[in-house]
Structure 1
Amino acid sequence: MMKMSQPFHLVTLSPWPIISSINVMNMFISILNWFNKNGYEFMLFNLLSLSLSVMLWWRDVIREGTYQGFHTKKVYNGLKMGMILFIISEVFFFLSIFWCYFHMMLSPSIELGMLWPPKNIELFNPYSIPLLNTLILLSSGVTVTYTHYLIINKFNKKSFFYLFITVILGLIFSGFQLYEYYWAPFSMSDSVFGSIFFMSTGFHGLHVLIGDLFLMINLIRIFNNNFSSTHHFGFEAAAWYWHFVDIVWLFLYFFVYYWIFI
């Protein structure tokens, strides 16, 4: 009787999960040291080490799915579920930040003068850079969606062009946010408002950079013709993540910039 092959992919032993975990731990320890003014050299070293381990891990996954054919429909569905669960975990991460923000905003304590924002906090004008960044990020959501449409319809050259525009828009967003931070009229130590503002927008900015890196990898893969019209989950995962980043920014813009300004 012929033995039926099972549709799942049993991954081979890989050193990258444990190495990446150690690098992430060292990365956060070095960031804490940097915050305490003990130098940033160790942080840069760990950033390089983490980047290399992640790149090699991604290389192995791309090789398994693209060249070795291990990503069957069962594996494909498992990857989709894994990405969905990851995004749900990110939703709860930002939910905790918004919970803190609404707790302080809706019932400011006596230490804050029962005011929100606290006295002497000069707010950003929501109709200047924040609004511009909103338009930039929403535009990038349109271009990444159109890129998906082009991949499905096998327009590889056009899909490369529109994904390149998405990456550039993400970098422009990060540049404007850095400019906003540089000229901010308050700092992270200016009451709980400053702490929540820089933590919420800062973590969102970090997610924008991670999403941009995700899209850059897919840009290289489109250039190398790794995707077909039916097998392009690497791009789909990046697009889902990018749309999540867009939605979080809309909440940040409305509640952190616009609502308290009007």
Structure 2
Amino acid sequence: MSSTAHGHAPYYYVPHPSRHPVMAAIGLFLVILGATQWINGAGWGAWLLLLGMLGWLFVLYQWFGEAVRESEGGLYGRKIDLSYRWSMSWFIFSEVMFFGAFFTALWWARAHSVPALGSLDNALLWPDFKAVWPSVVAGATASPAGIVEPFQTMGPFWLPTINTALLLTSGVTLTIAHHALQVGNRSRCVSFMWLTVLLGIVFLFVQGYEYFHAYSDLNLKLSSGVYGSTFFMLTGFHGLHVFVGMLMLLFITLRLMKGHFTPERHFGFEGAAWYWHFVDVVWLGLYLLVYWM
């Protein structure tokens, strides 16, 4: 912990210099650079992406392993615990803003952009344009130039509804596991954590089948106008967050099986639980605004 100019420890925790943040940033830079080059036709971009991903994961393995050893070694006090709690809170807040931007894009396109394109000013330019959202009028692609292939929208039944039930159930099982840990019932906690991880995995498989159904049966693609782009951006990024949250819960479960965490000290568990409940709440917004409306 660093100190102030007067030699007194600050109220908040200041971590010592570490190589992990810059190494993780380099790995992510290689991932983004490789992905952009791969998308633009450079074959070496795929290998650069793979290299960056492997390097990034290796850094995280070292970084998180070091944090776990310090925590289990009793090196973390109240200030570090508060630092972790504030950090996780701000991280989740940044994710709220991230999804808020996409929800806003969906609302703006539907409530403002499409009606504006169908106004009297544009009637002479696009006389055949249908200023309606595709989910409101079946077959409306809002493509007067014919550049968007006809597609069908994704309704709430039955795959999205099944996934909603899976995520809500996983929130319940996670809460049961948390209460079991608080009362010292480790075996019950581990059992319900494995059930939560399994529900997350099933959710991802159902979403993968939903995408297959969208492409093969509905001709709904990322290029299907603003509806297709917002649909896949919102659901796709949410699926990525489910995957990350599932990995968090998986590693927490493995740590529980090794005897880590106590009823009094288990913020690693709580932080992963906060993230998973956030993912649940985002999905409820998606389920209502994307599939029902």
TM-score calculated relative to the size of structure 1: 0.92
Pair 1:7–1:153, CA change in 2 (3 A): farther
1:15-59 per-position Cα deviation (integer Å, ceiling 9, x unaligned)? 111000111121122222332343433322322221111111111
1:104-156 per-position Cα deviation (integer Å, ceiling 9, x unaligned)? 11131337631112434311231210000000011111111111101101111
Identity percentage over the alignment?
A: 34
Report the RMSD for the aligned CA atoms in angstroms: 2.0
Name 1:183's counterpart in structure 2.
213
Contact 2:252 2:269 in 1 (8 A): yes
Match of 2:255 among 208, 217, 221: 221
Pair 1:231–1:79, CA change in 2 (3 A): same
Match of 1:80 among 80, 85, 93: 85
Using CA pairs below 8 Å that are at least 6 residues apart, which structure has the higher relative contact order? 1
Name 1:47's counterpart in structure 2.
53
Contact 1:189 1:195 in 2 (8 A): yes
Name the larger-Rg structure: 2
1:92-115 per-position Cα deviation (integer Å, ceiling 9, x unaligned)? 110000000000111313376311
Name 2:189's counterpart in structure 1.
159
* More moved, 154-163 vs 114-123: 114-123
CA distance in 1, matches of 2:10, 2:49: 44
Could you tell me how far 1:6 is from its partner in structure 2?
A: 8.0
Match of 2:105 among 96, 100, 105: 100
Could you tell me how far 1:199 is from its partner in structure 2?
A: 0.6
Contact 2:30 2:51 in 1 (8 A): no
Q: Secondary structure at the match of 2:187?
A: helix
Q: Are 2:131 and 1:114 equivalent residues in the alignment? A: yes
The one-letter amino acid of 2:189's match is S
Aligned pairs for 1:193-208 within 5 A: 193-208=227-242
Could you tell me how far 1:11 is from its partner in structure 2?
A: 3.3
Structure 1, unaligned runs of 5 or more: none
Match of 1:140 among 146, 167, 170: 170
Q: Are 2:66 and 1:60 equivalent residues in the alignment? A: yes
Name 2:18's counterpart in structure 1.
14
Could you tell me how far 1:240 is from its partner in structure 2?
A: 0.2
Contact 1:160 1:222 in 2 (8 A): yes
Could you tell me how far 1:7 is from its partner in structure 2?
A: 8.2
1:42-101 per-position Cα deviation (integer Å, ceiling 9, x unaligned)? 32232222111111111111111111x222112111211111111111101100000000
CA distance in 1, matches of 2:191, 2:180: 10
The one-letter amino acid of 1:61's match is A
The one-letter amino acid of 1:80's match is R
The one-letter amino acid of 1:204's match is H
CA distance in 2, matches of 1:102, 1:143: 33
The one-letter amino acid of 2:54's match is L
Contact 2:13 2:83 in 1 (8 A): no
Aligned pairs for 1:121-136 within 5 A: 121-136=151-166
CA distance in 2, matches of 1:100, 1:7: 40
CA distance in 1, matches of 2:11, 2:67: 17
Name 1:257's counterpart in structure 2.
291
The one-letter amino acid of 1:52's match is F
Could you tell me how far 1:4 is from its partner in structure 2?
A: 9.7
TM-score calculated relative to the size of structure 2: 0.82
- Pairs aligned (count): 256
Name 2:3's counterpart in structure 1.
none
Structure 2, unaligned runs of 5 or more: 1-6, 119-125, 135-139, 142-149
CA distance in 2, matches of 1:224, 1:5: 34
Contact 2:177 2:192 in 1 (8 A): yes
